[in-house]
Amino acid sequence: MPHALVLRRRVQFYETDAAGIVHFSTFFRYMEEAEHALWRENGISIFPAQPTHGWPRVAASFDYRRPLRFEDEFEIHLEVTRISTRSLTYGCRMIARGDLVAAGSMTIACIQRDGEHGMRAVPIPEAIVALFSPSSPEASADKPASPAASADKLVPPLAKADERA
């Protein structure tokens, strides 16, 4: 039941732009690729053939430090940094040749369909909370000390760490 994952990836040509580097919007696709790989590692799909829940993104951000170029190899370090009742936050770092390339975060909500095009936020199923909850002591060091303080206020620890850097 991993709550974190490292994905190795190579930059594809169609991910670059005329400035010769990976387009900044592509990093969000990389982060999502790692997210879906993490769900598969836990034996589930975020978008199965008969979905009972949906997982729309409610926030996403990246800070960029270094460019990536065509054929660069890099690692996507993704971890679940926070689970609240109705949402889940990931922290993400891209690393190439040992250097930080970009750090980001993404928060997704748990929803169910409500009529034709409606959707309403619902609690994340217990089984999924269990899959993504960090169980090791190091991992829990990333979590807010007081559960009360964290209720539905989404603070990505990775982003915080970056501010110190």
4 and 79 in contact (C-beta within 8 Å)?
A: yes
The Cα 133–Cα 80 span in angstroms is: 8
Instruction: Identify the residue among 6, 41, 42, 61 touching a second copy (CB under 8 A).
Output: 61
Tell whether residue 97 is a contact of a second copy (CB under 8 A).
no
Tokens in use for 100? 């930080």
Tell whether residue 57 is a contact of a second copy (CB under 8 A).
yes
Task: Find the part of the chain contacting a second copy (CB under 8 A) among 86-94, 114-122, 134-142, 143-151.
Answer: 114-122
**Partners of 10 in beta bridges:** 73
Concatenated DSSP letters of 45-59? -SS-SS-SSB--EEE
Closer of 45 and 135 to a second copy (Cβ):
45
Residues in contact with a second copy by the rule CB under 8 A:
12-14, 16-21, 23-26, 28-29, 32-33, 36, 40, 45-47, 49, 54, 56-64, 67, 69-71, 116-117, 119
